[in-house]
Amino acid sequence: MGFDPHEPEQRHLLRAALKAADIQPGELWLQYFSLGGAAGEYEVEAYLQGLLSMPVLERDLLAMAANELIDDIPRSRAPYSSELQDENTPEQNAPDSPTASEQSRTEPRDPD
């Protein structure tokens, strides 16, 4: 197997992604193995430490496994206004609740 000049950068970025997502090498290996990865857990750990080179296909399977694990992590997100409207619409227009115009007709007015 020849040396791929992109391997060190790919390894570095994989390690950074794993660290940012707090994913352990054992978790990565299990996901990688479930995707059909051929390397053992010790080989994956050696690769992550820069002690072992891996073929492009295996490195890409590691990247895929890492990305799947990262995608599974629940994280906060900012909602769009349409998402809020969709959530609130059934409550605002529920059959038992009066609309704003009905509510203004049935509530006593403040005699300011």
pLDDT value at position 108?
A: 54
Residue 39 domain flag: yes
For CA atoms 57, 60, 66, 67, give the dihedral sign. Answer: negative
Count of domains for the chain: 1
Domain that holds residue 56: 7-71
Residue 105 domain flag: no
Strand, helix or coil for residue 57: helix
> How far apart, in whole angstroms, are the C-alpha atoms of residue 32 and residue 54?
13
Residue 84 domain flag: no
- Name the phi and psi angles at 100, rounded to 5: -60, -40
| Tens-digit pLDDT string for the chain (112 aa) | 457 899 999 999 999 999 999 999 999 999 999 999 999 999 999 999 999 999 999 999 999 999 999 999 988 888 888 888 866 555 555 455 555 445 545 555 555 5
Q: What is the pTM of this model?
A: 0.68
Residue 101 domain flag: no
pLDDT value at position 77?
A: 81
Residue 30 domain flag: yes
Residue 91 domain flag: no
